[in-house]
């Protein structure tokens, strides 16, 4: 209807509007009639009949017309005909207003002002299209739950034509002498200096045992003939004209200062229901029994409700009530929840936000309960758990309001400018790993002395662990809380010290030949590393003189790797006598370490960089390292331990005898969501201003031991609670974690800093754009997080290119494919962009799965391959079936 109206306006303007004084207004009435007002000198020489005929002939006769007014410019001036004001307040006051807004949705609905000119008290209306669905019962129990949680809650009965709250509460103290009807009626029709009913006269308290909060009730009033007369006379228009609701809120605030007001609203389409939802409420809980009658009624106003939620601060949530507690009832609930979700909640915060998403979620369901149905008084405390999910919806809204209050008293842009986020790259010397390192749930497994293999994809923190032990050992010991006190870490191989690279390993392979013992090479290399790090005891035993003389040729320096170092390894490992002697020497070293109560850890990293990928010798070289570790175990050298950091796909591919020896002695590095969120908060705390704000409102004593709930509370200030306003939208913490997780379930903390840094930069673009409203409940808006995601995804995708150069053509081809591919698509990629002679299609698919690019999915009984969201963005793949992120 909206696009049709705009098209018609443009069409008629081409004929009738030629100057600034001429104008056209079109409007579709709530019943679909087309109303037209035209002011144009085009009609100067025509009478009214001719004007009408000219317009009708021009228009499509399929329209049903309402009023049609046609004037010349002078006629309009004489009659004081002007353009209709563009919904100055913007807020619909009645169901008719809402219907008209839906029929004529355009720019006038932008920025609906739903705020109350009143104290900052959050008001939530409970509404149902039909009666008898348990709305009031739900409200009463939710109010009690919120009071039990420490809130000061006020219930107001605005179901004036069928009041019931006064029947549910038998023990109000004091008992109100009047009710809401009396209060409103007096203020609508009695002079201000004649008031006899004050706010204190209509409030009673329901005492709850062991409740840190309080529960107050304002009933509709005593139902008698006087009440009936007042309800019949009282009109919402009178309340609106005198702004009586604002007066009521002011009086309530002065008397009680409640945290939240819950309104029991009138059912159906009437003025009191409209007043409760459209004017009085900040947020709405819609209760419905899952059947066509209830759904049809809510569908009638669905477009209006969508506009309210999308263009104002109102939040609308749905609750399915009195559902039969059996399989059929659950099935019915699921069916109607899906209908509600699709028809009422399926929209985005920003229609240009390609990367917004909603989470279908589970319906909030209240099942039929005989105890509730048969009880005459409420609340029933042992049934609080039934209504807790509804209370949680309100608590979440309260948190959003709290965030608005928190940020309203700050210099938002100054805090954003102070934020500093870093990509945690352990090899980047600019990064202070001691500061940015995040202790994960795998850390205790890692420092277990029996753990020898640490595998995971690149970017999961293997190198960070390697560097923490070597360069930031004091930090590591503090985190380990005493478990590393006797440990002396040494770089067995890796970037920390000079080491052999691709050329050296290839040279040794050629010199030693195919029958060489790489176990012997790694054993000799370990002794050489200890010598270079000056960790060997004095050579007092002539038995080992030959080893000493060989080592002396290079000296005790760890910053140089020369050809002499390589030759020493070849010499010590190719000579069988020297090789056996070194084995004995390892036993001697272990005894020396034991005397000093010292345990030496040899750490191995960068194996993927320094041993050529898929070379003829890669498997032999790496297998030799593990054979060496196994031989040390066999010698029972308890004071020499190993930590080998290896890329996941290489560990999966490498093949050697008795690989099962390392079962239970390996750790797969995977970041849990709480690890990930802790890192986000740690980096946010680089800003002292942000930390000061968190310490004041959501204090976190120790990040590494804080609960996920506490961490999320502290991050709310940074990125809010949910991605979008509706309840089906994902929580931001979950969204960020999922989007930086690949198809194998591996999360990449390294790119978290990139996402947040890019999001901050994008947010700062709005600093001088006063016409773009800033979010009131968070520092970084959803669009900024989207921009950060794209930047991080592209970075991670580039890393994948660098890690797997043999797959570059595959990566380049992905932009031609959808996120969900059939086996034929994968086979096309394989044939056109890969297909090495020794790799089958199944091998290729296994590779894609191992590197976290795809996962198997079953769609309509057939295997499909779903690409990880991060790589869909990073490689520019197509979205299937318009699926949004």
pLDDT for res 113: 43
- Is pLDDT larger for residue 98 or for residue 696? 696
Share of the chain above pLDDT 90, in %: 46
CATH second-level architecture of 2-84?
Answer: 2-Layer Sandwich (3.30)
Stretch among 47-56, 270-279, 548-557, 664-673 having the lowest mean pLDDT: 270-279
pLDDT at 866 over 70: yes
Give backbone dihedrals phi and psi of 327, rounded to 5 degrees, phi first. Answer: -60, -40
Compute the residue count for the chain. 885
Enumerate the domain spans of the chain: 2-84, 122-349+358-387, 402-440+671-803, 462-634, 804-885
pLDDT for res 308: 59
* Residue 488, CA atoms < 13 Å, CB-side half-sphere: 15
Q: Whole-angstrom Cα distance, residue 313 to residue 106?
A: 18
pLDDT for res 6: 73
Give backbone dihedrals phi and psi of 588, rounded to 5 degrees, phi first. Answer: -60, -45
Q: For the beta carbon of residue 712, count every other beta carbon within 10 angstroms.
A: 22
Task: Give CATH for domain 122-349+358-387.
Answer: 3.40.50.300
pLDDT for res 300: 66
Q: Are 687 and 270 in contact (CB under 8 A)?
A: no
pLDDT at 364 over 90: no
Share of the chain above pLDDT 70, in %: 87
Note the pLDDT tens digit of each residue in 121-144.
889 999 888 888 888 999 999 999
Mean pLDDT of 329-336: 81
pLDDT for res 139: 93
pLDDT for res 461: 86
Torsion angle in degrees (nearest 10) through CA of 452, 458, 459, 464: 40
pLDDT at 298 over 80: no
Q: Whole-angstrom Cα distance, residue 563 to residue 536?
A: 22
Q: For the beta carbon of residue 289, count every other beta carbon within 10 angstroms.
A: 22
Note the pLDDT tens digit of each residue in 553-598.
998 899 999 999 999 999 999 999 999 999 999 999 999 999 999 9
DSSP string, 445-492: HHHSTT--EEEE-TTSSHHHHHHHHHT-HHHHHHHHTTTTTTEEEEEE
DSSP string, 123-171: EEEEE-SSSSSSHHHHHHHHHHHHHHTT-EEEEEE--TTS--HHHH-S-
pTM (whole model) above 0.85? no
C-alpha torsion sign, points 736, 737, 740, 743: negative
Question: Which structure tokens are listed for 486?
Answer: 């006797």
Note the pLDDT tens digit of each residue in 788-844.
999 999 999 998 998 888 899 999 999 999 999 999 999 999 999 987 767 889 999
Mean pLDDT of 259-283: 83
The helix/strand count (H/E) of the chain reads as 39, 20
- Is pLDDT larger for residue 171 or for residue 521? 521
Q: How confident is the model at residue 613 (pLDDT cuts 50, 70, 90)?
A: confident
pLDDT for res 631: 96
Question: Which structure tokens are listed for 697?
Answer: 């409102």
Q: Whole-angstrom Cα distance, residue 675 to residue 583?
A: 41
Q: CA of 180: how far to CAs of 171, 252, 261, 429, 660, in Å?
A: 18, 12, 14, 69, 76
pLDDT for res 181: 92
Q: Whole-angstrom Cα distance, residue 219 to residue 206?
A: 12
Buried b / exposed e over 64-99, threshold 16 CB at 10 Å, is eeeebebbbbeebeeeeeeeeeebeebbbbbbebbb
pLDDT for res 4: 67
Q: How confident is the model at residue 98 (pLDDT cuts 50, 70, 90)?
A: low
Q: Whole-angstrom Cα distance, residue 90 to residue 68?
A: 25
Mean pLDDT of 604-627: 94
Task: Give CATH for domain 804-885.
Answer: 1.10.10
pLDDT for res 86: 43
pLDDT for res 348: 38
Pairing relationship of beta strands 283-288 and 640-647 according to DSSP bridges: unpaired
Mean pLDDT of 181-207: 90
Note the pLDDT tens digit of each residue in 544-557.
999 999 999 998 89
Q: Whole-angstrom Cα distance, residue 480 to residue 474?
A: 10
Mean pLDDT of 749-768: 92
pLDDT for res 726: 59
Q: Which of 656, 251, 604, 634 is nearest to 455 (CA)?
A: 604
pLDDT for res 873: 92
pLDDT for res 862: 84
- Is pLDDT larger for residue 311 or for residue 286? 286
pLDDT for res 88: 37
Pairing relationship of beta strands 640-647 and 854-859 according to DSSP bridges: unpaired
Residue matched to tokens 């009807």: 181
pLDDT for res 356: 44
> What's the mean per-residue pLDDT of the chain?
84
pLDDT at 419 over 70: yes
- Is pLDDT larger for residue 535 or for residue 402? 535
pLDDT at 516 over 80: no
Mean pLDDT of 237-262: 87
- Is pLDDT larger for residue 830 or for residue 348? 830
pLDDT for res 22: 92
pLDDT at 609 over 50: yes
Q: Whole-angstrom Cα distance, residue 846 to residue 839?
A: 10
pLDDT for res 141: 92
pLDDT at 311 over 60: no
Mean pLDDT of 347-361: 43
Q: Are 814 and 780 in contact (CB under 8 A)?
A: no
Stretch among 544-548, 563-567, 722-726, 747-751 having the lowest mean pLDDT: 722-726
Q: CA of 5: how far to CAs of 18, 35, 87, 217, in Å?
A: 20, 10, 17, 47
Q: CA of 879: how far to CAs of 47, 105, 257, in Å?
A: 57, 29, 50
């Amino acid at each position: 209807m909206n696009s049709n109206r705009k098209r018609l306006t443009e069409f008629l303007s081409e004929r009738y509007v030629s100057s600034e004084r001429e104008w056209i207004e079109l409007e579709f009435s709530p019943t679909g009639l087309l109303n037209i007002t035209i002011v144009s000198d085009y009609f100067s020489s025509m009478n009214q009949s001719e004007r009408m005929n000219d317009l009708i002939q021009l228009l499509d006769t399929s329209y049903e017309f309402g009023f049609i007014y046609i004037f010349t410019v002078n006629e309009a001036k004489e009659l004081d005909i002007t353009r209709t004001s563009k919904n100055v307040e913007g807020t619909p006051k009645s169901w008719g207003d809402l219907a008209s807004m839906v029929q004529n949705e355009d720019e006038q609905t932008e920025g609906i002002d739903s705020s109350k000119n009143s104290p900052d008290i959050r008001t939530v209306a409970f509404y149902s299209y039909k009666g008898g669905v348990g709305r009031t019962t739900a409200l009463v129990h939710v109010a009690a739950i919120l009071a039990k949680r420490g809130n000061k809650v006020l219930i107001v009965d605005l179901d004036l034509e069928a009041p019931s709250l006064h029947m549910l509460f038998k023990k109000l103290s004091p008992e109100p002498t009047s009710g809401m009807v009396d209060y409103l009626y007096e203020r609508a029709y009695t002079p201000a200096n004649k008031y006899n009913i004050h706010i204190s006269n209509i409030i009673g308290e329901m005492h709850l045992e062991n409740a840190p909060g309080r529960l107050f009730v304002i009933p509709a009033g005593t139902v008698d003939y006087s009440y009936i007369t007042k309800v019949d006379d009282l009109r919402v228009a009178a309340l609106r004209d005198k702004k009586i609701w604002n007066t009521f809120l002011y009086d309530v605030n002065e008397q009680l200062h409640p945290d939240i007001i819950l309104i029991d609203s009138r059912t159906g389409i009437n003025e009191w229901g409209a007043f409760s939802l459209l004017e009085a409420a900040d947020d709405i809980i819609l209760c419905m029994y899952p059947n066509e009658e209830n759904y049809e009624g809510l569908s009638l106003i669905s477009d209006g409700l969508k506009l309210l939620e999308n263009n104002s601060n109102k939040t609308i949530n749905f609750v399915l009530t009195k559902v039969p507690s059996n399989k059929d009832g659950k099935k019915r609930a699921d069916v109607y929840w899906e209908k509600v979700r699709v028809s009422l909640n399926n929209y985005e915060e920003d229609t240009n936000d390609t990367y917004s998403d909603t989470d279908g979620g589970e319906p909030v369901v209240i099942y039929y309960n005989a105890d509730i149905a048969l009880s005459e008084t409420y609340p029933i405390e042992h049934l609080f758990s039934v209504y807790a999910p509804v209370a949680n919806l309100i608590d979440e809204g309260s948190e959003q309001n709290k965030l608005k209050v928190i940020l309203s008293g700050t210099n938002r842009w100054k805090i954003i400018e102070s934020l500093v986020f870093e990509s945690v790259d352990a090899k980047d010397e600019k990064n202070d790993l001691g500061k940015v390192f995040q202790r994960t749930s795998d850390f205790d497994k890692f420092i277990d002395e029996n753990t020898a293999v640490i595998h995971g994809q690149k970017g999961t923190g293997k190198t960070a662990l390697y560097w923490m032990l070597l360069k930031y050992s004091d930090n590591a010991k503090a985190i380990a809380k005493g478990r590393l006190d006797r440990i002396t870490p040494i770089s067995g191989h890796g970037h920390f010290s000079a080491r052999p690279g691709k050329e050296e390993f290839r040279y040794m392979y050629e010199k030693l030949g195919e029958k060489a013992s790489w176990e012997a090479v790694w054993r000799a290399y370990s002794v050489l590393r200890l010598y270079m790090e000056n960790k060997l005891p004095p050579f007092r035993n002539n038995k080992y003189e030959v080893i000493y003389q060989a080592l002396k040729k290079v000296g005790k320096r760890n910053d140089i790797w020369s050809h002499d170092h390589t030759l020493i390894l070849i010499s010590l490992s190719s000579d069988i006598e020297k090789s056996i002697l070194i084995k004995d020497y390892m036993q001697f070293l272990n005894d020396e370490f034991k005397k000093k109560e010292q345990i030496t850890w040899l750490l191995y990293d960068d194996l993927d960089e320094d041993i050529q990928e898929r070379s003829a010798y890669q498997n032999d070289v790496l297998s030799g390292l593990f054979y060496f570790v196994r031989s040390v175990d066999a010698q029972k050298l308890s004071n020499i331990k190993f930590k080998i950091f290896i890329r996941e796909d290489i560990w999966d591919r490498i093949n050697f005898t008795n690989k099962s020896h390392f079962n239970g002695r390996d750790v797969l590095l995977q970041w849990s969501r709480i690890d990930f969120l802790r890192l986000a908060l740690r980096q946010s705390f680089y800003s002292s201003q942000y930390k000061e704000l968190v310490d004041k409102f959501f204090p976190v004593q120790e990040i590494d031991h804080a609960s996920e709930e506490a961490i999320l509370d502290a991050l709310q200030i940074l990125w809010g609670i949910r991605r979008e306003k509706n309840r089906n939208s994902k929580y931001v913490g979950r969204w960020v974690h999922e989007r930086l997780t690949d198809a194998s379930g591996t999360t990449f903390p390294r790119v978290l800093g990139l996402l947040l840094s890019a999001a901050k930069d994008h947010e700062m673009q709005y600093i001088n754009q006063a016409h773009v409203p800033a979010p009131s409940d968070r520092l970084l808006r959803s669009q900024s997080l989207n921009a950060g995601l794209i930047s991080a995804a592209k970075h991670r995708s580039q890393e994948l290119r660098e890690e797997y150069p043999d797959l570059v053509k595959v990566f380049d081809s992905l932009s031609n494919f959808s996120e969900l591919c059939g086996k034929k698509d994968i086979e096309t990629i394989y044939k056109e962009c890969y297909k090495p002679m020794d790799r089958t299609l199944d091998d290729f698919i296994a590779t894609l799965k191992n590197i976290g690019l795809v996962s198997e999915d079953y769609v309509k009984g057939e295997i499909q391959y779903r690409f990880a969201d991060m790589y869909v963005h990073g490689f520019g793949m197509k979205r299937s079936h318009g699926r949004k992120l």
